[in-house]
Structure 1
Amino acid sequence: MKQFLLCDWLGMDYPIIQAPMAGVQDSALAIAVSEAGGLGSLPCAMLSVDDIAHQVSLIKASTNKPYNLNFFCHDTSEYNEIKHQQWRVLLKPYFDELSGQYDATIKAATRMPFSHDIADVIEDFAPPVISFHFGLPDAKLLARVKSWGTKVLSSATTLEEAVWLEENGVDGIIAQGLEAGGHRGMFLSKDVSTQIGLFSLLPQIVDRVSVPVIAAGGICDTRSIDCALSLGASVVQIGTSYLLCHEAKTSQLHRAALKSQRAHHTALTNVFTGRPARGIANRIMKDLGYMNSSVPDFPYASMEMAQLKNLAEKQNLDDFSSLWSGQNVSGCQEISAFDLTKQFAEACRIVS
C-alpha cells in the first residue's frame, strides 16, 4: 500500500501524523504519538530559539522514533501604530468591562517565521521531518534544511498552492481541508472563498502532483481515515482529536468548550491573530464579526487580544480566547495520546 511506503520513508510505523498545535501542546504530546508509532509534531512558531532547543532535547532524550518540527514562514510586515490605535479603540469597551487596561508597551510579535537563526539552533539535531505553514522559506534556507537529510512537508489549502509547493521543492504536501482547526495554511491568496473541504481538495491534489499527499481536516475515526486513504492520501494528519489527551496542555476553559454543545459551531475568524483560523465560536467572534477588516496584520494582531484573553480567563471567561478546533470533535477522548494513536493505528489496519 502506498501509505505504508511513505511510512517507511518517514520512519513511522503507522500512517498517522499528529498535527502541530501551538499553544496547546509541547514535546510531551509529540513524544507520546511518536512512541505509539505515529509521527509526533512539535509546533515551534511561538517558541524562542532556546525553548525550541530545550523541547527538541526532551524529544531526543525520550524517544528514538522520528518526529516533526513545525514552523511558520510568513512575511512579517511592519508594525502599524495607527491601525493598532484604531483596533484598541474598538476593543476598549471590553477592557473597561473587565476592569483592565491595555499595556501599550508590548509591541512584540508572538509568532516568528523560520529563519537562519532558528536553523543554527536545530541543525545539530538534524530533525527527521520539518513541516511549514504559509508556504516555504526562501530557496537558500530550504536547501540548508534539506542538506541535513530532513524531509520537508508543507500545507496546501488549494490546488494552486499544492502545485506551487511541488515546483518549489517540497517532499510531501499536507492537503488542509476547510474542516481543519487552527490557522489556515493559505499563502497564495487571502480570499477565504478559495478554501474548500478536504474530500473535494484531496483528490484534485493527488491527481496533479507526484509527491506524497497527507490528508488533514476532520479526520477522527475509521470512516474518515478510510475515506482519506481511498482518495489517494498516503498519510492522515489528526489534530483536534488530541486536544483532550492527558499530554495536551489545553486549558480547562478550552477543554470545557470542546466537551460542550458549543463545539459543534466553529468558524473561520481573523480577530485573534490577523489570519483566518478555525475555532469554536465565542462572544468576541460574534460581536466583531468573524472576519473583520479592522484587525491589524498577522502576527501583531494577537497582542491586544492576548491581553483581553488573560484578563477574561482570570475571571473564568473564554469570551476572548482562541478556542481552536476543527469541525469534528467526535474523536476527542480523555485518554493518553499514546493510546489514542494506537486506536487510530488499528483503524488504519482495518482499512488497509
Structure 2
Amino acid sequence: MNLHRPPLWQIIKPHLAVFDGALSLIIFLIMSVGIVTLYSAGMNFPGRVEDQLRNILIAFIVMWIAANVSPQTLLRFAVPIYTVGVTLLIAVALFGIVKKGSRRWLNIGMVVQPSEIMKIAMPLMLAWYFQKREGMIRWHVFLIAGLLLAVPVGLIIRQPDLGTGVLVLAAGFYVIFFAGLSWKVLTGLAVAGAASLPVVWSVLHDYQRQRVMMLIDPTSDPLGKGFHIIQSTIAIGSGGVTGKGWLMGTQTHLEFIPERTTDFIFSVFSEEFGLIGNSILVVLYLLLIGRGLMITANAPTLFTRLLGGSITMIFFTYAFVNMGMVSGILPVVGVPLPFMSYGGTALVTLGLGAGILMSIQRHRKLVQT
C-alpha cells in the first residue's frame, strides 16, 4: 500500500482550476449582457433564453476541455485536424446538403458544417507550419502558407458562405502576419487586391453584389434588400445616449429589426441601452482582446504566440465586422457578435478558442521551467 498517495482532491484540483481568472470574468460579463439582451430580443421566440443558457454551458465545458489540453498536444494534432477539415469541405462540395441556395452542410450520421472546424484548424495548421520552420522562414515559406490558407477559404466561399470565409481568411492571415510578413509585401498585396476588384465583382453572386450596393445606398430598395440595414441603423440611432430602457425598444418589439436574436442583436442592445451601454460593451471587448494579447506576449514558443495572437484577433474580427455591418459601414455577411448572439455553433467555437488561450497561459510556466 502506498502511504504517501495524495488525496483525490489534490489529484483532480489542477484539472478543475484551469480557467484564467481575468479572461473568464470578461467572457462571463459579455455573456451576461448577451442573456439580458436576448431576453428582450427573443420575447416572441419562446425557449431562446433557455437554449442559449444550454449553449453557454456547453461552451464552458468545451472551454474547460481545451484548457486542459497542452499546447504540445495541439501541435501534434494540428495537421490531422486541418486534413480532416479540408476533406470534409471537399465532401460538402461534392455531395453536401443544400439549404436556401447554399451547400454548406454534410450528413455524416448527424448534420455538420465543416467550415466551422476551419476557424480553429486554420490557425492551428499555420502555427504548426511556422513552428517547424522557426529560424528558416523565407519568402517561399509565406507562399506555401498562403496556399494552405487559400484552399479551404476558396472551398468555403464557393459554398457560398462569405461570412465564414472572411473569418477563416482572417484567422490564417493573422498567423502569417505575426510570423513576420513584411509591410512591403502587405502593401503589394493591398495594391493587387485593389486592382483585382473588377474581377472579384464579376465572380460575386447576385446576392453578394446586392449587399455591397445596399451598403452604398440602402434607400435604393428600402422595402427589399435595404430594409434590414435601414431598420438596424434606425434602432441604433434612436437609442440616443442613455437608450430607451430594457424591454422598451420599439424597433425590437414591433419586429422591425431582422435576425434580432442572432446577427443583429447589437441593434437591440443599442436601442435599449444607448451610447453609454455601447461604450461599456466596447470596453469589455477591448479588455477581452487586451487579455488575449497579454497571454500571447508571454507565450513561450513560436507556436503558442502565433496561435494565441490569431485567436485573440479573431475575437476582434467577430466584434468589428458584426458592429460594422449592423451600423451600415460594412456589408452584411452574417457574422455573429461574439459571446452575445444566439446560437450554439459559433459560441462553442469561440469557447474553444478561449480555452486554447487559457491552455497557453496555464502551461506557460511549465514550459519555461
Kindly indicate which of the two structures has a greater share of residues assigned to strand: 1
Bigger radius of gyration, 1 or 2? 2
TM-score in same-fold range (> 0.5)? no
TM superposition score normalised by structure 1: 0.29
TM superposition score normalised by structure 2: 0.28
Larger RCO, structures 1/2 (Cα 8 Å, 6+ apart): 2
